[in-house]
Amino acid sequence: MDRISITSLVDLLLETGSDPDASSAKDRKADPLPEFYQLVRDAIVDMHRRNLPDSVLDNVVDLEPNPKRERVLERVINGYRRFLGTGSMKWFEPPKASYTFGPNEIDINPELGLAIDETPYVIKMYLRGEPLTPRRVQVTLGLLAGRLGRSCPGHVFGLLEVRHGKLHALRTPEERVGAVQLVESLNAER
């Protein structure tokens, strides 16, 4: 049994519509900058976890020798700063889960747990350069809500489009049910 991330599962579901088998997970074209994204992702998580000012994110840009990637990092960090301006935020450790889906073990691992203006949000970050589609938002949020919803009553599940500072969120039980049903229908097609 192979372990894959929620992001890889969403990619497979959107590409194939169903049947996310292990070979297609392995054969998928990898994101060209995974370590690059991981550095900024880790810096954002560490900033919140240690209650540091957002100026620490500039250190990630300073470490990047490639000017093109440096510009990308600056856009990502500026987008995240826009998100930070949407309310007061306090860190909590986000819940995590894993489950079996076909021949794979899926890791549900949102990066951020933030109480935004005292409302708890469980957030997965989207750092890629390609546009975030409504279907990707629905599937990702459906997986988060479907796997973590029972253990996190009262929490809002979100997918943060980091470059734009835009949070896509499931705020009501009805939205949760709709997103979870979408993912279940994709699973039923298998």
Residue that is written with structure tokens 């969403």 in the block = 10
Counting the structural domains of the chain, the total is 1
From its phi and psi, is residue 87 left (phi > 0), alpha (psi between -120 and 50) or beta?
Answer: left
pTM of the model: 0.83
For position 60, which CATH number holds?
3.90.320
Range of the domain at 24: 2-188
DSSP 8-state class, residue 129: S
**Tell me, what's the pLDDT at 51?**
97
Question: Could you tell me which of 152, 83, 163, 94 has the C-alpha nearest to residue 124?
Answer: 94
From first to last of the 190 residues of the chain, give the pLDDT tens digit.
688 888 888 888 888 765 555 445 445 444 545 677 889 999 999 999 999 999 999 999 998 888 998 999 999 999 999 999 999 999 999 999 988 877 888 889 999 999 999 999 999 999 988 889 998 998 899 889 888 888 888 899 999 999 999 999 987 555 555 555 665 665 555 4
pLDDT for res 6: 82
- Residue at token pair 């049947």: 19
